[in-house]
């Protein structure tokens, strides 16, 4: 009798795994199309049929993160994290996680950059991101290692923080934070000489984003052009500054500046403040490329660029 029960249990488990395998294949096929609304609908339906199915919650999380990237609704990011926590909870021995972990690398970066972003603005929210990051990924964020020690200290202004904690040391962490900070400025109107969220001009926007990660820049595109190390369009990274202008026998003049939002295999997305305000431009090759003076890596080379021989006029 006992042997029969064991065999029955194995058969039930095997049937359950096969059913989950079919669900995983169906949901993954929708995920690969990039139709996140459809994926969300189907994954929620799967979760309703089996409230402890980790596969369903993994894809609900992926659907919400995809919607967050498309529409920038912060609620989608929150739902993505909540459902990923559920999936990890129900995924015994991380059976499905091992196959799906790579799909969450972008969410992992977003959670890290959010934790960094809120570090100066809302320490409790930053701490929550850190805890969820550790719970989900089994990893910790080094720049927030001492955040819990500050959780009971009121933050009245930035100067009350431990100076060693207010500086983001990692270049990649700075770049991730700059991308998020720059994105949060989308829609802010153009304002001549502006350098706050009430309005930006081009170099004021660049200065604002860099100031947030502890790099002080002048409020002048030509002066910014003399900083950092010149890099190619192919090797440029998120956070690098693009200077636009003209050259002649007397030297150069930069009349506009922006920040690289993304660079995928040389396809540059530029975020900058122009007459219609802060926005992301994806027509770099069609319009902006031929007007480019320099692309500068100032994150890793914040000092004066001695290699720049051209003089500004």
Residues 40 and 138 placed together within one structural domain of the fold? no
For residue 310, being part of any structural domain is answered with no
**Domain region containing 114:** 108-167
What CATH number is attached to the domain comprising 9?
A: 1.25.40.10
Residues 28 and 133 placed together within one structural domain of the fold? no
Give the angle 62-53-6 at the CA atoms, nearest 5°.
150
For residue 276, being part of any structural domain is answered with yes
**Tally of structural domains, the chain:** 3
Span 131-177, pLDDT tens digits: 888 888 877 765 455 554 554 444 444 433 343 334 445 688 888 88
Tokens of 117: 């972003």
Tokens of 13: 């488990």
Distance of alpha carbon 122 from the chain centroid: 18
**Last residue of one domain, picked from the residues 67, 95, 123:** 95
- Kindly report which listed range (123-137, 151-165, 249-263) carries the lowest average pLDDT score: 151-165
Total Cβ atoms within 10 A of residue 284: 20
Over the chain, what is the mean pLDDT?
81
Residues 114 and 91 placed together within one structural domain of the fold? no
What CATH number is attached to the domain comprising 283?
A: 3.90.1720.10
Residues 181 and 208 placed together within one structural domain of the fold? yes
Residues 199 and 264 placed together within one structural domain of the fold? yes
- pLDDT surpasses 80 at 1: no
Residues 204 and 224 placed together within one structural domain of the fold? yes
Residues 214 and 238 placed together within one structural domain of the fold? yes
For residue 147, being part of any structural domain is answered with yes
**pLDDT band at 296; cut points 50, 70, 90:** very high
The helix (run of H) or strand (run of E) holding residue 83 is: helix 74-90
Residues 125 and 216 placed together within one structural domain of the fold? no
Residues 215 and 293 placed together within one structural domain of the fold? yes
- pLDDT surpasses 90 at 293: yes
Per-residue pLDDT, 118: 82
d(CA 175, CA 189): 24
**3-class DSSP state for residue 28?**
helix
Residues 204 and 272 placed together within one structural domain of the fold? yes
d(CA 194, CA 220): 12
Residues 144 and 63 placed together within one structural domain of the fold? no
For residue 79, being part of any structural domain is answered with yes
pTM, two decimal places? 0.51
For residue 309, being part of any structural domain is answered with no
Span 185-229, pLDDT tens digits: 999 999 998 999 999 999 999 999 999 888 999 999 989 998 999
Q: Mind telling me the catalytic residues?
A: 202, 256, 272
Span 43-97, pLDDT tens digits: 999 999 999 999 999 999 999 999 999 988 889 999 999 999 999 999 888 889 9
């Amino acid at each position: 009798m006992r042997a029969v029960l064991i065999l029955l249990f194995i058969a039930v488990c095997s049937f359950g795994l096969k059913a989950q395998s079919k669900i995983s294949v169906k949901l993954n096929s929708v995920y690969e199309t990039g139709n996140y609304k459809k994926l969300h609908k189907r994954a929620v339906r799967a979760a309703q049929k089996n409230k402890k199915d980790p596969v369903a919650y993994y894809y609900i999380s992926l659907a919400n993160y995809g919607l967050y990237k498309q529409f920038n609704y912060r609620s989608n990011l929150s739902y993505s994290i909540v459902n990923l926590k559920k999936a990890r909870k129900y995924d015994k021995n991380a059976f499905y996680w091992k196959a799906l972990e790579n799909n969450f690398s972008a969410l992992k970066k977003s959670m890290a950059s959010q934790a960094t972003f809120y570090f100066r603005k809302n320490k409790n929210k930053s701490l929550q991101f850190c805890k969820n990051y550790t719970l989900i990924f089994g990893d910790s964020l080094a720049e927030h290692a001492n955040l819990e020690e500050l959780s009971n200290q009121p933050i009245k202004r930035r100067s009350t923080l431990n100076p060693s904690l207010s500086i983001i040391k990692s270049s990649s962490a700075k770049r991730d934070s700059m991308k998020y900070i720059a994105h949060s400025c989308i829609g802010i109107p153009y304002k001549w000489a502006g350098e706050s969220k009430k309005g930006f001009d081009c170099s004021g926007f660049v200065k604002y984003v860099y100031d947030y990660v502890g790099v002080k820049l002048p409020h002048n595109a030509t002066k910014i052009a003399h900083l950092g190390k010149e890099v190619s369009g192919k090797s440029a990274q998120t956070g690098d500054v693009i200077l636009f202008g003209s050259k002649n026998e007397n030297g150069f003049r930069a009349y506009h500046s922006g920040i690289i939002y993304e660079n995928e295999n040389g396809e540059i997305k530029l975020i900058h403040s122009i007459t219609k305000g802060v926005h992301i431009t994806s027509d770099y090759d069609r319009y902006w490329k031929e007007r480019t003076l320099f692309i500068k890596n100032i994150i890793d080379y914040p000092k004066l660029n001695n290699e720049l021989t051209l003089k500004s006029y």
